[in-house]
Structure 1
Amino acid sequence: MSRIYELRDGDELDLICFEHYGFSRGSVEAVLKANPDKLNLFDDFGRVQTLDKVESILLPDVPEPIRIDTPRRLFN
Structure 2
Amino acid sequence: MDAKLSFEYDRQGDILYINQCLPYPEQDSEEIDYGIIARLNPSTGKIENLEILFFSKRLLEKTLFELPIIADFRLTATT
TM-score by length of 1: 0.28
Higher relative contact order (CA 8 A, sep 6+): 1
Higher strand fraction: Structure 1 or Structure 2?
A: 2
Higher helix fraction: Structure 1 or Structure 2?
A: 1
TM-score by length of 2: 0.28
